[in-house]
Amino acid sequence: MLPTGAKDTQLRESNSQKVHPQPMEEAMNQNPEAMETLISKIFTNISSLKSAYIQLQSAHTPYDPDKIQNADKLVISELKTLSELKHFYRENNPKPVCVSPQDSRLAAEIQEQQSLLKTYEVMVKKFQSEIQNKDSEIHQLQQQIEEASQKRAKLEKNLKLRGLSTKESENENGFFPVDLTPDLFTSSVDAAAKAIHDFSKPLINMMKAAGWDLDAAANSIEPDVIYAKRAHKKYAFESYICQRMFSGFEQESFSVNSENITVTKESFFHQFLALREMDPLDMLGQNPDSIFGKFCRSKYLVVVHPKMEASFFGNLDQRNYVMGGGHPRTPFYQAFLKLAKSIWLLHRLAYSFEPNVKVFQVKGGSEFSDVYMESVVKNLIMEDNDEKPKVGLMVMPGFWIGGSVIQSKVYLSGMKVAE
């Protein structure tokens, strides 16, 4: 039996010694090969994860949905593998009470890899969100393509009904044709009427500047017209331009001599499409002696009288240049080409239809018919008597297209207008 003092000393020494579960170092020493294998797998998995992440990034530039999907699956697979290794380690290596320096290094590495893993998870979610957005954009584009394909199929069907194939109907500039409809012809008629009006403005202004007597000039065009206003005499000059530009319209050739040219419905429509979106001067620069070029030259020479041109420019150089086969790049000639293009397109379009669109003109002195004619002046005062208004000038001819009538535009003589 020990003395009391000896017992206390032994008890204190016993209490000062800490008791631990099996240390990690001992656990690792018991099966070092298994731990090395686990660590090797972790580092291999991290390397694979980095590689998969790089593949995911590269798949975005350029954007490749298939590569992105494959890389995304690979990243997720590596993340799952890493998670499985983490759980395996925790199950087989419980947390020790005392941690050796070697264990601390391992824990630090694991913590670092876990932080890196979280970063990868965030980036993967970001890429998955981008993929969803791209998929949505692709879906919208696919819908647009489908709608465009349906429109194309409808257009091809319409062309086949008219004897035109898709290949034939595409012009050399790559413009896809519009539908050949009465509405297209009506809009072309409106464009031609506007072109006549637009060209009459510089013509009248140049006549003014050259000292012409505009009243006398208007009366020489149609002497028996009674104008409601002096300003209405502008319609005499529009009528002058119209009469000369539409001369020969009823002929398939439009009074232009052309040899070895096949005349078909398709060729007329192709010519319409070819010139429709082009600058007329550019077209003539490519082929100055084309049938369109010949048309422009012949119409310029009849619309612009030699006396007019001499008074405008002081010489006939421009006229002589046109007669020699050229197309001058002067502002006046370019303004005329816009007019010529609109009339030429209207003729090409008229002969694209089956049957052809027919043109009709109204002579001065004819009785006004609201079925076939439309007054260019809208605020007329119609008197209550049996006498019908008389046509003074035809400003734009009319057309028969199928069973419909496009009215001729006329100026009525001797009418009063509301102020």
If asked whether residues 192 and 310 sit together in one domain, one would say yes
Statement to judge: residues 264 and 365 lie in one domain: yes
Say whether pLDDT at 38 is over 70. Answer: yes
pLDDT digits (tens, 9 = 90+) for 179-211: 889 999 999 999 999 999 999 999 999 999 999
Q: For residues 398 and 362, is the Cβ–Cβ distance under 8 A?
A: yes
Higher pLDDT, 258 or 262: 258
The answer to whether residues 203 and 314 belong to one domain is yes
Q: Is residue 239 part of a domain?
A: yes
212 pLDDT more than 90: yes
With CA atoms as reference, report the closest residue to 395 among 193, 188, 187, 249: 193
Q: What is the pLDDT of residues 321-346, one digit of tens each?
A: 999 999 999 999 999 999 999 999 99
Can you give the pLDDT at residue 95?
55
Residue where a domain stops, chosen among 45, 68, 91: 91
CA distance linking residue 152 with residue 274, whole number of Å = 19
How long, in residues, is the chain? Answer: 419
Are 240 and 349 in a shared domain? yes
CATH number of the CATH domain containing 45: 1.20.58
Q: Is residue 121 in some structural domain?
A: no
Which residues are 408's β-sheet partners? 373
Distance CA 193, CA 399 (A): 13
Range(s) of the domain holding residue 356? 180-415
> pTM for the whole thing?
0.59
Place of tokens 């294998």: 37
| Domain tally, the chain | 2
Does residue 169 surpass a pLDDT of 50? no
User: Does the pLDDT of residue 162 top 80, yes or no?
Assistant: no
Same domain, 216 and 84: no
Could you tell me which residue, 27 or 45, shows the higher pLDDT? Answer: 45
pLDDT tens-digit map of 348-369: 999 999 999 999 999 999 999 9
DSSP string of 74-93, one letter each residue: HHHHHHHHHHHHHHHHHHHS
Give the pLDDT band (50/70/90) at residue 404. Answer: very high
Do 186 and 72 share a structural domain?
no
Percent of the chain that is helix, strand, coil (3-state, to 5)? 60, 10, 30
| Residue 187 within any structural domain of the chain | yes
Q: Is 156 within a domain? A: no
**Residue 373 domain-assigned (yes or no):** yes
Query: Are 49 and 185 in the same domain?
Result: no
Tell me, what amino acid is at 31? N
Do 278 and 402 lie in a common domain?
A: yes
In a domain, 146, yes or no: no
Last-in-domain residue among 42, 63, 91: 91
Judge whether 319 lies within some domain.
yes
Residues 76 and 186 in one domain: no
Helix residue ranges, H only, 59-178: 65-92, 101-161, 166-169
Asked if residues 273 and 169 have their Cβ atoms less than 8 Å apart, the reply is: yes
Residue 24 belongs to a domain: no
Query: From CA 189, how far away is CA 191, in angstroms rounded?
Result: 5
pLDDT of residue 336: 97
Closest Cα to residue 268, out of 340, 181, 342, 350?
350
Answer with the one of 50, 68, 91 that is the final residue of a domain. 91
